[in-house]
Amino acid sequence: MTETLAIAALLAMLAVVAVAIARMRNLFGVVVLSGAYSFLMATVLTAFDAADVAMTEAAVGAGISTVLLLGALHLAGSLEAKPASRPWAPLVLAGFTGMLVVYGTYGLPAFSDPQSPIHRHVAPRYLEEGLKETGVPNIVTAVLASYRGYDTLGETTVVFTAGIGVIALLRRRRKGGGAKP
Amino acid sequence: MKSDIILRVVAKILIPFALMFALYVQFHGDFGPGGGFQAGVIVAAAVVFYGVIFGLAAARRAVPEPLVESMVAAGVLVYAGVGVAGLLLGGNYLDYFVLDHDPVHGQHRGIFWVEVGVAITVSGVMLKIFYLFAGRGRGFEEDDGP
């Protein structure tokens, strides 16, 4: 009960922060608020006992990306220009899509329902045999690095590719000469 | 921010602990929450913190760019190398059971090196992106943080 209340309060705060981010014109404030959003999200994940994901969210969402956004702000200036017009169509479209997504969730199994298909496929075997087979008590690590080793290899390659892409785009510009930055 | 003595002192105190925590997250990831990805990000965050307080040039001196760039690729190579080691020892690709006489120890060994690879690539990529972003729009030799 307390946990449900805490999660509801956290989610309400997330909504408030999201609206504030959307309405704010001062981009420095937006960056700080998005850091706060990440910390709130990390707290929600901790309440869901997903400590691994919470740690990642706090480190990447609130730490690294805040610094990167501040770096971008340094280049772009810190005040968002006022929009020329206030079109309604995008808001209607976004609201409609949001309602569709919410409608779609009614087709999903209830949250953390042990009888849902995803929990009856390979998960029981991982949970029962994981410790015996890998000797690793943290089942998240066992699944990530061993049972799903191929996926994690792909994931690491994605990170690598993203890094290479950024390097290719932003690599040290030539001084003068009008070359492309 | 170089002139702010409080920030400098706090940074000097906190950064060793952040790196220590990263090592804990890395090598205790088998037992507690954490693993290569989280540890890599924490290492990168510690260096980014150093760069923000002491300037980009200082961070580049402490963790030079060629090292960071080779880390980006080295981690993937370590990960893929674990798979090749499995092949050479007579198993399938990324088969950890053959990495040691005792299959469970083999699993441990495989997971250990795989996580090391993930941590190396993740921290390399994060740091490289930070260097590139922070170094943009200012001379390369300038050394104040963003």
Enumerate the domain spans of chain B.
5-135
- The shortest C-alpha distance from B99 to chain A (Å) reads 12
Three-state DSSP class for residue B141: coil
Q: Which of A23-27, A70-74, B17-21 has the highest mean pLDDT?
A: B17-21
Residue type, A46: T
pLDDT at A15 over 90: yes
User: What's residue A179's pLDDT?
Assistant: 44
User: What's residue A110's pLDDT?
Assistant: 83
How far does CA B80 lie from the centroid of its chain?
17
Instruction: List the single residue in A54, A75, A172 with the smallest CB-CB distance to B140.
Output: A172
- Across the interface, whether the CB atoms of B111 and A145 are under 8 A apart is answered yes
Mean pLDDT of B13-38: 89
pLDDT at B3 over 80: no
- Read off the pLDDT of residues B26-82 as tens digits, 9 standing for 90 and up: 988 888 888 888 999 999 999 999 998 998 899 999 999 999 999 999 999 999 999
Among B31, B39, B111, B34, residue whose Cα is nearest residue A52: B34
The mean pLDDT of chain B is 86
User: What's residue A181's pLDDT?
Assistant: 45
pLDDT at A101 over 70: yes
Q: Is pLDDT larger for residue A127 or for residue A176?
A: A127
Which sequence spans correspond to the domains of chain A? 1-80, 115-171
pLDDT at A114 over 60: yes
Three-state DSSP class for residue A79: strand
Q: Is A27 on the interface with B (CB under 8 A)?
A: no
